[in-house]
Amino acid sequence: MTEDGIGVPLRRREDRRFLTGRGRYVHDIMLPQQLHAVFLRSPHAHAEIAAIDKAEALASPGVEAIFTAEDVTADKLNGVPCAWGIAGKDGRPMKEPPHPLLARGKVRHVGDPVAIVIAHSVEAARTAAELIRVEYPHPAGSHRSQRGDDGRRAPAL
């Protein structure tokens, strides 16, 4: 084994502060007039979004704003792009599908972000997020035809 080659242990400088509880994380940063964001996420694996009612949540103490897909689209905020572009063998940039900030019209997986609550504290944002009413008319797996009369899911055949 060489002194500076493969297999040589690296002396890390940051470990001591983290192991002794003196590490500084992004969560530890508190700035004057700082606001906090909480995402309201879908509980469904696949469902259409019929309506989002954020009126009660907007009236909640400490809430500055609540954004849905319609809001970010109206403000012309684009989605989250790939971290870096990749070129094909011919040198042309890759075709990148849209990566919307928030689910618009339907959710595609459990945890799909539906709304963002901005508030003066994390607690205020979480409380407001719980007050947002999202109407999912027919989440996947909840159609009457897929359930028995007693409401239990029919066995897969």
- pTM, entire model: 0.72
3-class secondary structure, 27: helix
Mean pLDDT of the chain: 86
Two tokens at 20?
């002794």
Q: Could you give the percent of the chain with pLDDT greater than 90?
A: 52
Averaged pLDDT for residues 84-107: 87
Any idea how long the chain is?
157
Identify the burial level of 48 via C-beta atoms within 10 angstroms of its C-beta, where 0-12 means exposed, 13-18 middle and 19 or more buried.
Answer: middle
The pLDDT tens digits for 29-80 are 889 999 999 999 999 999 999 999 999 999 999 999 999 999 998 988 878 7
Nearest to 64 by CA among 28, 104, 37: 37
Tokens 């944002």, located at residue? 125
Residue 41's beta-bridge partner residues? 113
